[in-house]
Structure 1
Amino acid sequence: MPDTRPVEHMLRHTTREEQVGQLFMPAAFINDTEEAIVRLEELIREFHIGGLCFFHSPASAATNFEGKKEIPHNPDSLGTLKELIRRYQRAARYPLLIAMDAEWGLAMRVENGEPYPYALCLGALSDRDPLLYQVGLRMAADCRDAGIHWNLAPVADVNCNPGNPVIGYRAFGTTPEGVARRASLFYRGLKDGGILGCGKHFPGHGDTAVDSHLALPAIDKGAAELESTEFVPFRRLVAEGVDAIMTGHLAVPALDPEGLPASLSPAVIGQGIRQNLGFDGAVISDALNMHAVSKNYPGPGEVAWRAFAAGNDMLCFAEDIPEAHRRICREGETDQIEASFRRVWQLKERVREVGSKPVQPAHSPAGLRRELAAKCLTEARADGEPAAFLGEGPVTVVLAGRDLLPFHAGIRDQFQADFLEWDLAADRPEALPMPGTQKILIALQPPALKPAGNFGISAAALRALDALMENHRVWLCHFGNPYALNLLQTDRVAGILVAYLPLAEFQQQALAYFRGEARPAGELPIQLKPSRNG
């Protein structure tokens, strides 16, 4: 970040309009039209915008919640991102704070960004494993290289609900202390690596059954239970010196009897964050375009005004900025405007501070993924040895996924086997051919990481999977969200290897397991439900 004057100087030498403008962090899209880019440049100039949060495109899932727009593919999104950051910074009178949700690396928003495992996969590590710190360091280096100052991570939610539609795989696990220790190590890596972090989504989004992108969830827990579960990771991050806390769009009557979303609740922010947690740093709202709040306050600038009035310092994905800016300038308390401006500007000062001498990561991106694969892969069940299973007698490998080429090639080169390819989204029997051998290795990569629509697996594919597991001797290699295993009849399965995701390094580690060359070191981060026949 360019040189920034001390906050006391800025308070004396900026206008009320400029200070209010610094509180806005509108969305910027990596893949957008030139017309939209020019409009955002004009907004930055006219309203003294404080920061930008980058998303892939207006059609991406984070912004087009219920739509079916085609998402553009840009093989050099990273290059486009870097150029846009330079362009928007040139439009700004004061340096912009550039943020992104990069929970599992830039690849969360950028096609050619480096990918790392999602948090639940990292939950297979010991909660004191130094690799958690190294993941934060490596992500920080990637972000700094791209021009990102602020990774809106880690997720500090404790995933208490196995059916959670929006957190799930994004959480480090299901126990408060385990999540707290992992989130703390991850954040420490971000900080030492030279970027800002953010604990989210206070007061805790892990026990919800509604996706706040679509509607307002509610958590019906008492204050004592919230204190002993949801608050634990946030307290640990505050003790660690976390830069910011993000408020979630969820109603928690124990904290706000009026039922206001936490992100719009003076009680949740004032008593919950400021007093209870003792946190005086920056509070940022979750994206204000999300339907949990935007549908209930549809007036131009209304939701941004309410978020500010509740105590958020930075207004993420604020829309209708001209109207919201004018209202805050007109109706906002001067002391509150100056306090929020101070916290936002101090974030910019902190970017310079932590970025001046960053700790360099110990691993290349691929090297880190190899280390993680070796320690995360989890043997959930094993009746016998996997190498013997594949090496003795006829076997068919069912490739049920789109991105399994390394695994396919490795099995083909090592073992005598027949291969069948399945389309898990299809309802047609011909897309789900049944094998002719008794022994089956299923390489399973569900189409989706989120549970909506059974993780993208069709009803016909679920029936076919159950038929294989009921009538054949099966070893299952699962390259997906472990919660998806709850859909299957696994009580008769000989073995289950949880490989979590289809990154090439994880597929190679799975191959080493089936060759008898590696033993999985990970611990399953969730409790699976009993099989339907179990």
Structure 2
Amino acid sequence: MNKSQKIAQCFSPAAFIHDTEENYQEIEKLIREEEIGGLTFFHSRHSAAANFEKRAEVLDVSGTFEKLIGLINRYQSISKIPLLISIDGEYGLAMRIEKTPQYPFAITLGALKEDAEKWVEEVGYRMGMDMKRSGIHLNLAPCADVNTNPNNPVIGYRSFGNQAEQVAKLSFAAYSGMKKAGIGACLKHFPGHGDTAVDSHLGLPILNKTKAQLEAEELLPFQYGIDRGVEMIMVGHLAVPALTGGKEIPASISRELITNLLKGEMGFTGLVISDALNMKAVAKHFPEPGMLEWEAFHAGNDILCFSDHVREGIQKISENASDEEVDTVYEKVMDLKKRLGVLEIQPIEVPTFDWESHSKLQSQLAEKYVSVISGKLDLEGIQLLRAAGKLGYQEFFTPTASTFSKQLGLDTTTISEAEKVILAVFVPSHKPLNQFGMDLETLAEIQRLAQSKPCILVHFGNPLALKYLGNLENVEAVICAYQGFEEVQQVVVKTLQGL
């Protein structure tokens, strides 16, 4: 193979499931002419960096999963060297593909009360098996970011928590589960995106901490993984001046950070993958096509994800990199392909999912994370009021009556006569924008009710959204359910019934 063909194996541009035939042919052209090494699949162009719940509101699409399988088979059939197929599925295929199994968010798994590492590994394994059966070799997950900034616009629910030790153990457990399923995984976003206030899809976050502070927090989960043999790490687009000689340069293109710190001081010998190279934090600084790709390669990235300038990138790297550098990276990528079984590729059928087994797992997990996080439940009192018709119920942000309300069997019209009220809040979004999707008028109504009579607040959503629901001391108890899954709603019903 010549130098350019070897370099092409580093590239994993974006492929969109819902796209035009013209764009599908553009990808085929990249495979045939540039001989790229892989593809990273996204749902559609306008949602590549969006969260699933946002997309669900604006897109009317069908057959996403079947389309994905068809495209994987189509693209693999024309590639000389089988393609490494990646997806960014932090909570399973469902992060990108409708009607596929969705698993709890990392913040939810971080709330598991017992055997957390065992259960998180099981979730990683199940996600991995879903992906492996779908022709995917690499999941660009889990996050090893320590979410110490509650206003973080881009991490939040994607992190296992705000304690570095816990994040280290659970991110490694998730990684291990995926590896056990026979797919690749990576810890991200090195050197740690948890204490940032800027969304790197839009601008460059700057983390002003000393190296000692970073080692105690941000870097700890990555070092924990490296010490236990993690084979892949994704580098984020954030500047950490303490690690780059005072320069505000994105980590993803910093040689000091990737080659000197990660590979040198921290002893990482695996593959480094860049975060999406189309993200504004880096892309806007390189108007000349191909220069960003060269800078990312030179910094020490082995796989270049979501490059918008593949052809020019290959050319620039070919002009600037030595044969030895190219050979080293090429061998690492080919070794990864061998380990993940990429080279023994076969056409795949659309797999079916064991929804019954998935539902059972969801119930088992919910029993371990649904928690009374504030106050105390008077279960006997609840039953007495219920029997006397004095227990009221109201739910918020649901278009139709929830499973929870049906199973509770309480009439929402009895609030004025009720002596105690259960308030169920189904938080619309897991991202902090616009109070997690909750309008101010409804929030004011919830707070009014909480002050007017004894209430039990049931929070189906991201716990970081609780701060918008007023002073929690105004309510008798807060049950945090973390997610709105049907199985979770059933577990909360049992909790209220004292079962």
Instruction: Please report the TM-score for the alignment, with normalisation by the length of structure 2.
Output: 0.91
Structure 2 equivalent of residue 378 of structure 1: 371
Q: Per the alignment, do residues 514 and 108 of structure 1 end up closer, same or farther by CA in structure 2, a change over 3 Å counting?
A: same
Higher helix proportion (structure 1 or 2): 2
Q: Per the alignment, do residues 200 and 388 of structure 1 end up closer, same or farther by CA in structure 2, a change over 3 Å counting?
A: same
More displaced 10-residue stretch of structure 1: 468-477 or 400-409: 400-409
Matches within 5 A, 1:93-104: 93-104=80-91
More displaced 10-residue stretch of structure 1: 41-50 or 329-338: 329-338
**Deviation of 1:387 (Å):** 6.4
Aligned 8 A contact 1:73 1:111 in 2 = no
SS in 1 for 2:184: coil
Matches within 5 A, 1:2-401: 14-60=1-47, 62=49, 71-125=58-112, 126=114, 128-256=116-244, 257-352=246-341, 364-386=357-379, 388-389=381-382, 391=386, 392-401=388-397
SS in 2 for 1:136: helix
Letter in 2 for 1:459: L
**Deviation of 1:492 (Å):** 1.1
Letter in 2 for 1:378: S
Structure 2 equivalent of residue 418 of structure 1: 412
Which deviations, in whole Å up to 9, do the C-alpha atoms of 1:382-414 show, x marking residues without a partner?
A: 4342464361543332221337621122122xx
2:477 is aligned with 1:495: yes
**Deviation of 1:503 (Å):** 1.1
Q: Per the alignment, do residues 329 and 481 of structure 1 end up closer, same or farther by CA in structure 2, a change over 3 Å counting?
A: same
Aligned 8 A contact 2:84 2:337 in 1 = yes
SS in 2 for 1:99: strand
Letter in 2 for 1:481: N
SS in 1 for 2:373: strand
Structure 1 equivalent of residue 348 of structure 2: none
Which deviations, in whole Å up to 9, do the C-alpha atoms of 1:123-175 show, x marking residues without a partner?
A: 01246541111111111110111111111111101111111111111111111
Aligned 8 A contact 2:404 2:490 in 1 = yes
Q: What is the CA–CA distance in structure 2 between the aligned matches of 1:497 and 1:289, rounded to whole Å?
A: 40
Query: How many residue pairs are counted as aligned between the two chains?
Result: 482
Q: What is the CA–CA distance in structure 2 between the aligned matches of 1:440 and 1:113, rounded to whole Å?
A: 36
Q: Per the alignment, do residues 61 and 498 of structure 1 end up closer, same or farther by CA in structure 2, a change over 3 Å counting?
A: farther
Aligned 8 A contact 1:370 1:506 in 2 = yes
**Deviation of 1:453 (Å):** 1.4
SS in 2 for 1:214: coil
Aligned 8 A contact 1:209 1:217 in 2 = yes
Q: What is the CA–CA distance in structure 1 between the aligned matches of 2:197 and 2:421, rounded to whole Å?
A: 35
Q: What is the CA–CA distance in structure 1 between the aligned matches of 2:257 and 2:21, rounded to whole Å?
A: 40
SS in 1 for 2:338: helix
Q: Which one of the candidate residues 406, 430, 444 is aligned to 1:463? A: 444
Matches within 5 A, 1:478-489: 478-489=459-470
* Identity across matched positions, percent: 41
**Deviation of 1:459 (Å):** 1.8
**Deviation of 1:50 (Å):** 0.6
Q: What is the CA–CA distance in structure 2 between the aligned matches of 1:150 and 1:399, rounded to whole Å?
A: 40
Q: What is the CA–CA distance in structure 2 between the aligned matches of 1:191 and 1:317, rounded to whole Å?
A: 23
Aligned 8 A contact 1:194 1:355 in 2 = no
Q: Per the alignment, do residues 201 and 60 of structure 1 end up closer, same or farther by CA in structure 2, a change over 3 Å counting?
A: same
**Deviation of 1:476 (Å):** 0.9
Q: What is the CA–CA distance in structure 1 between the aligned matches of 2:84 and 2:96, rounded to whole Å?
A: 17
Letter in 1 for 2:118: P
Letter in 1 for 2:406: A
Letter in 2 for 1:279: F
**Superposition RMSD in Å:** 2.4
Aligned 8 A contact 1:100 1:152 in 2 = yes
Structure 2 equivalent of residue 474 of structure 1: 455
**Deviation of 1:370 (Å):** 1.3
Which deviations, in whole Å up to 9, do the C-alpha atoms of 1:304-360 show, x marking residues without a partner?
A: 22211211111111002111121112222222211211211111111029999xxxx
Q: Per the alignment, do residues 371 and 507 of structure 1 end up closer, same or farther by CA in structure 2, a change over 3 Å counting?
A: same
Q: What is the CA–CA distance in structure 1 between the aligned matches of 2:390 and 2:275, rounded to whole Å?
A: 53
2:459 is aligned with 1:513: no
Q: What is the CA–CA distance in structure 2 between the aligned matches of 1:23 and 1:271, rounded to whole Å?
A: 21
